[in-house]
Structure 1
Amino acid sequence: MFEKKAWFNPLVISSVLATGIFLGSTVSPFASMLTVSAEANTSGLQIVSVIDQDNYLLSDGSMWAKSMKGAWHSEYQFAGITAGSNNQYYGWTTTGQAMSWDNITEEIHVIPGMNNVAHISGDGIVLHTDGKVDVIGSGKPDTLPNSVKLIDGFEDSYAILKQSGDILYYKDYQNGLGRKIGSYPDAISIKQDGVAIAVLRSDGTVTLLDLLSGDIPQVIANDAVAIAWQGSKRTLLVVKKDGSVWSHSRSTGFAPQVLSELTDIVQVVYSPTGIYAQHKDGSWVQDTDKIVSPLQVPSITSLKLILSKTNAVVGDKINAKIQEIYSNGSIHTRPASANELKVDLSQIAEILSDGTIKVKAIGNATITLTTDTLTTQSPLNGTTEEALTGAVLIEGSVYLPVQTVFKAMGGTILVNGNQFQINWGTQTIQLNKNSAVAQMNNQPVTMKGKVRTSGSQTVFPATLLSSISKDAKVTWDSKYQQAIIQVNGSNITIQSDKTLKLMKQEEIGNLTRLLGKSYWVNYYHKAGERFSKVNIKDIYAEKDPYNRMRFVVQFRDKKGTEYLSDRLTASEITALLSDKEQFFNYDIRSKYNWSQAAWNRIINAEVVEGMNTQQALLSWGKPDKKTITKENGHTIEIWSYIGENYLNMLGIGDGVVYEVFSI
């Protein structure tokens, strides 16, 4: 046998992800069909061709197959499918393309150079619509038959029926010379098993041509409409006009034996798992050891709705997919369409036309998926990443901001002067500033206080929510001075103007006194450029590698660049900010009216002759050692900076650097 893998096109179309194929620089005419639909809805379809119990062709041209991963479905508009050896399968499409796959990868290959295919048999024997025969793979013979009407392959041999009626047998695919076995111009089907060729003729007779002995052709059946060999069992199955099926075994001299369990049959197929027979009504059965069971198109037994997020922020768009579980164990996943989805609370989420789900408000909703006969659901929780503010406690009563709360709950608000028109779900609410009476669905509702202004926001008594929704409840968190709204199956937190300060106070304690303060950087390089102004934007607590509580200071300069300190204790932060070697609490450049050149030298830690004492101090810092002598009314200072591998010294006379010395 020749190598079967040599012909595979390197372009492989996955049975799950394929959407099309390009061959060379042009689009293949088969491209529109090279798709495997994620929606394998096989309801209402019939099986039209069978390889075995796991591999069969449906009436819409799609195919069910089985790999080591399980059953899978592919919509390729096949005209026929067949099995070769070594777990290899072939198919040909309604447009004449040849395809191949195996039972391992679930990948379908386009076979290049095979066009206008009418039939494939055996291990890759191809009959083209023009009557020419071809062989898939390498090792093709120089001469191949033409003017062929029918082919039938078995293992590495094949037989052909020519238009003239001649029947030729080819022992192997590489042999281009066939052996003429007989001539039957009225033949309508031929089947061979490597030992004999069975010929079904138009008058219903079945003639057996022996390939081994050369015996005279033998008529073994009449009134036949279909024939099939039982693999290598040397037994021919014959379907008769009356729908009965008969077995003719070489071991009994091809004497007929009826398969009484099969009736009303029009064709049969054999595989090692049994005999597959099609009834006159189109249905198929499997006959295994005389036990007959129906072979049915798989149906969807259950659904699962998969959302890309079940906890989503207001404004997010959620992708919805359907996982369809079939009766044969196959699982198909496809995008859900808008008409299959519903949401129970329209104020929380909305189904968009493309099948995505937009989160509109904070709360819990249920997304329901309904197909032809099945339904499933998934929860969706709307949240927000932004802190909602505006809650206030007035004379012991909780007030909430109109705009913030109703928008968070999914309502729409129309403002007309001092009047607020709110639509929330099926409810219509009207609020008026300085009024304690609300209109709900055109009915007056007296509130426990007036709608009023607090700061820059309009607020209303929180107790109104329980009148709008029976499950709504508002509580006041006195620890953090904030309101907690329970509605739509979720909690909405509305902070007051004190909340963040209280939370920060709990987190960092007395360090809150430093928040917002300004400093000017000296030598603490982790806070930015030297002498630049920075503000303390935040201080937050975190654990160090030893699980000890420490604090990190977040600095921000005037450009908006942010810097983080080391992890420090509270006392270390206080000491750091008060150490003039690290920070100044004023802009030192405004204290000394020096030239920019002088400041640049200081920033670059340069000391040159002629600098004054303060400039040298700012440039190099405090010396490790200082000696002072007075001579003839002059003050002489020697500053020493001592390191492990260096010694820098300054000579200063009467406050001016006169010598810079380094070792």
Structure 2
Amino acid sequence: MRKMFLWIVAAGLILGLTGWISVADAEEKPQIVDIIGKKTLLLDDGSMWSEYNNQMIHTRDDIAFISGNDRSGLAVTRDGKLVNWGFGSPPFNDEDYDQSQVLQVSGQVWLGLDGKVRGRSLDNILLINETNQFFGALSQKGELLLEDRYKIGSFNKLGIIPDPTTVKEISVLDGRMALLYNSGKVVVFEASNFDDDGNIIPYSVTEDAVHIEYVQDSPTDRIIVTCKDGTVWTTGEYQDRKKLAEQMSGLSQIVKTVVLDGPQHFYAKRSNGSWVLYDEGKLTPIEPPVIKTLSVSVSNLKPQVGDDVKVDILENYSNNAKIRITASMENVTIQKPQLLKLQPKGTFKVMGVGETEVTVIQGGLSKTVKLSASLNTNLKFAKQSKGVVYVPVKSVFKALGGTVAVSAGGAFDVKVGEKALTLKAGDVNATLNGQALKLKAAPLAEKGDMLVPASLLTDVLGASIQWNAKLENVVISFGQAKMTVVTANTAALVKKAAQGSLTQYIGKTYWINYFQLWDRFTKVTVTDVLPDDTGSFTIVFKTASGKKLTSYSMSYSEVTDVLGDSVNFLSYDPYKKYKWSSSIWQHVKAGEVVLGMTKDQVLFSIGSPTAQSTTTAKGVKIETWVYSNFDTVSFSNGQVTLIITY
């Protein structure tokens, strides 16, 4: 047994160095290596299934063997690390102990390569076994140690054997220890089977076993024995307990059993790796959980360059488990890897413009989605000359996720995905992946950059090119992925198109009345009406002193409304129209009403009233204005004679 476990740990280390091929990679159905209870499985890819909070979870680790029950247990990875799980927690690496490499686990107890048993105060141990809370150990000296069930940590010595390293495994139960030797011999020591001198008398059950396992039964506990010929037997009752008494019908090519509930209810593993449940002669195949369907969702199918895109992968298993896994280069294939770059937390950074398929491959299944990545900022320096549309090499190909390098001879070496181009200014002869390529027009040298015919993007990358003569820009498309390259005239043309009839206000002069708390009656001239990318506009003014004033953002129609409303702006010079004294103008600008003011002066000062009334007293016409705040102003013969404020 010790040699076998050492070989497993060593094999795990070798596999770790050479690269472990997962079942999904090989597109083969996983096989069950071991079973605990009804729901805990160890698979040959090193992963483990267990239950946590009434949900099945899939622990992807490099686990070599497991022990315990459905509620809790221990596992050992191929590099000798301990994994612990319990009913209230998912599997986790147990770092509470100073772990040397773990040699063996059994139940809730583990044995290190140093011969120490964690969970029991034992040293110099070769093998351990825990069955139904009965614990025993074989020491390096050959001592057979059986723990007192009612006094944990206290051990009785059943006997001592020579050459203990020839023992492959042990199994204990209620005062008994069975030894399986490498030769296939099974020897049993029972605390109740002793001679007149009190010495325990061992007995041999068989000579050709490959696996043994004690199981509780009434009236006599039994040993389930797997023989070299692949048959499975149990020992009998009373005196027949010392021999193989009953063969389990229907079982052949068996190499191992795992007790589920009694000698007639257990799992059996065949030599081909398959498992069956044996239930009183009835055989039921046990299949490992496999992915039935694969669900893939992407946070944004139409991202912009620079965005982070999350790929959610949900595995739907045959055991009704739903497992969400993180995207990685092991399970995700990018058709055009220059467009997406994997980030540390499993998201993808959008690196370039274009369309690419993202394929998730897991458990032999695959799911593909298409991403269309665009650029939300315009590139500059497109040009049209003699009917040919040109675009800049550096910015365009970098926006496509490519690279551009300039050689000592002035040639531009461009690489986009698997396409490699070499271009020279003034030369229609280029190369594509080492093969000659003739361009529709010669590239143009332009201030350290190079302009190439946009048709090159169609010929090499399959892009769609659309020249907008009205706005003088070029739209480069790959399906739904787009980017725009503008000329030096585009901004002015776009602005003019957006402004439409609002250009009529540019150059007009106004005098501020009530607008954005600006100084009243200041003379301003509209210098621009600026559109933004939301379809709104701001009005830019300039005062006589050269100061720039900018309005709030407003809709197209609101520009006309604001400038046409005398509450906001006057279209005439009020100082020239009204020859009022400086003191009156001072009160008007301050929004004050004083006795003797005229109606026009009051209107300029505090605006129009909400209510008006007229009466006559002693031949004098009295007009009263009431405002929304209940302030009241009365006029007699057109001048203010009464002011009531609240």
TM-score (ref. length: structure 2)? 0.60
CA distance in 2, matches of 1:445, 1:367: 32
Q: Is 1:87–2:74 an aligned residue pair?
A: no
Amino acid at match of 1:402: V
CA distance 1:262–1:477, shift in 2 (3 Å) = same
Q: Which of 303, 306, 311 is matched with 2:302 structurally? A: 311
Q: Is 1:500–2:485 an aligned residue pair?
A: no
Q: Which of 191, 198, 208 is matched with 2:171 structurally? A: 191
* Conservation of the 8 A alpha-carbon contact between 1:651 and 1:660: no
Instruction: Give the aligned length.
Output: 570
- 1:163-312 equivalent positions in 2, closer than 5 A: 165=143, 167-168=145-146, 170-171=148-149, 175-176=151-152, 182-185=158-161, 190-194=170-174, 197-200=176-179, 204-207=185-188, 209=190, 219=203, 221-223=205-207, 224=209, 226-230=211-215, 234-239=221-226, 245-250=232-237, 253-254=240-241, 255-256=243-244, 257-258=246-247, 268-271=257-260, 274-277=266-269, 284-289=273-278, 310-312=301-303
CA displacement 1:112-147 (0-9 Å, x = unmatched): 56867876544x456686766748xxxxxxxx8888
CA distance 1:561–1:414, shift in 2 (3 Å) = farther
* Conservation of the 8 A alpha-carbon contact between 1:40 and 1:332: no
CA displacement 1:368-388 (0-9 Å, x = unmatched): 789999998654433121356
CA distance in 1, matches of 2:191, 2:391: 95
Could you say what secondary structure the match of 1:500 adopts? helix
CA distance 1:502–1:164, shift in 2 (3 Å) = same
Amino acid at match of 2:355: N
CA distance in 1, matches of 2:326, 2:403: 34
Q: Is 1:385–2:376 an aligned residue pair?
A: yes
Cα distance, 1:167 vs. partner?
4.8
Residue 581 of structure 1 corresponds to 567
- 1:515-534 equivalent positions in 2, closer than 5 A: 522-523=513-514, 531=520
CA distance in 2, matches of 1:267, 1:415: 67
CA displacement 1:172-204 (0-9 Å, x = unmatched): 5xx55969594455685553445x624327693
- 1:9-28 equivalent positions in 2, closer than 5 A: none
Amino acid at match of 1:288: L
CA distance in 1, matches of 2:372, 2:273: 48
Residue 34 of structure 1 corresponds to none
Could you say what secondary structure the match of 1:206 adopts? strand
Of the structure 1 ranges 103-112 and 228-237, higher mean CA displacement relative to structure 2 is found in 103-112
* Conservation of the 8 A alpha-carbon contact between 2:334 and 2:356: no
* Conservation of the 8 A alpha-carbon contact between 1:72 and 1:330: no
Could you say what secondary structure the match of 2:59 adopts? strand
CA distance 1:146–1:413, shift in 2 (3 Å) = closer
Q: Which of 84, 91, 100 is matched with 2:84 structurally? A: 100
CA distance in 1, matches of 2:437, 2:117: 85
CA distance in 2, matches of 1:109, 1:517: 77
- 1:84-483 equivalent positions in 2, closer than 5 A: 84=69, 87-91=71-75, 99-102=83-86, 106-108=90-92, 110=94, 112=96, 121-122=106-107, 124=108, 134=119, 152-158=129-135, 165=143, 167-168=145-146, 170-171=148-149, 175-176=151-152, 182-185=158-161, 190-194=170-174, 197-200=176-179, 204-207=185-188, 209=190, 219=203, 221-223=205-207, 224=209, 226-230=211-215, 234-239=221-226, 245-250=232-237, 253-254=240-241, 255-256=243-244, 257-258=246-247, 268-271=257-260, 274-277=266-269, 284-289=273-278, 310-315=301-306, 333-337=325-329, 349=339, 362-366=353-357, 379-387=370-378, 399-403=388-392, 407=397, 423=414, 425-428=419-422, 438-441=428-431, 468=459, 474=465
Amino acid at match of 1:41: S
CA distance 1:121–1:375, shift in 2 (3 Å) = closer
Cα distance, 1:477 vs. partner?
6.2
Residue 60 of structure 2 corresponds to 74
* Conservation of the 8 A alpha-carbon contact between 2:74 and 2:105: yes
Amino acid at match of 1:662: T
Residue 41 of structure 1 corresponds to 22
CA distance in 1, matches of 2:82, 2:294: 34
Cα distance, 1:155 vs. partner?
3.7
**Structure 1 gap segments, 5+ residues each:** 1-38, 136-143, 542-550, 630-634
Amino acid at match of 2:494: L
CA distance 1:379–1:499, shift in 2 (3 Å) = farther
Residue 16 of structure 1 corresponds to none
Residue 645 of structure 2 corresponds to 662
CA distance in 2, matches of 1:53, 1:40: 28
Amino acid at match of 2:267: I
TM-score (ref. length: structure 1)? 0.59
Of the structure 1 ranges 208-217 and 473-482, higher mean CA displacement relative to structure 2 is found in 208-217
CA distance in 2, matches of 1:577, 1:111: 75
* Conservation of the 8 A alpha-carbon contact between 1:284 and 1:296: no
CA distance 1:430–1:316, shift in 2 (3 Å) = farther
Cα distance, 1:228 vs. partner?
0.2
CA distance in 2, matches of 1:452, 1:156: 84
Give the alignment's Cα RMSD to 1 decimal: 6.7
**Structure 2 gap segments, 5+ residues each:** 1-19, 542-546
* Conservation of the 8 A alpha-carbon contact between 1:338 and 1:356: no
Cα distance, 1:227 vs. partner?
1.9
CA distance 1:517–1:303, shift in 2 (3 Å) = farther
CA distance 1:338–1:317, shift in 2 (3 Å) = farther
* Conservation of the 8 A alpha-carbon contact between 1:406 and 1:412: no
Residue 7 of structure 2 corresponds to none
Cα distance, 1:90 vs. partner?
2.6
Cα distance, 1:647 vs. partner?
2.6
CA distance 1:181–1:302, shift in 2 (3 Å) = same
Could you say what secondary structure the match of 1:311 adopts? coil
Could you say what secondary structure the match of 1:238 adopts? strand
* Conservation of the 8 A alpha-carbon contact between 1:99 and 1:109: yes
Amino acid at match of 1:209: E
Cα distance, 1:237 vs. partner?
1.4
CA distance 1:385–1:603, shift in 2 (3 Å) = farther
CA distance 1:304–1:642, shift in 2 (3 Å) = closer
Residue 646 of structure 1 corresponds to 630
CA distance 1:640–1:459, shift in 2 (3 Å) = farther
CA displacement 1:74-119 (0-9 Å, x = unmatched): 32666x52123x6222336789876532478644374856867876
Residue 563 of structure 1 corresponds to 552
CA distance 1:111–1:501, shift in 2 (3 Å) = closer
CA distance in 1, matches of 2:405, 2:576: 54
Could you say what secondary structure the match of 1:577 adopts? helix
* Conservation of the 8 A alpha-carbon contact between 1:159 and 1:170: no
* Conservation of the 8 A alpha-carbon contact between 2:633 and 2:643: yes
Could you say what secondary structure the match of 2:234 adopts? strand
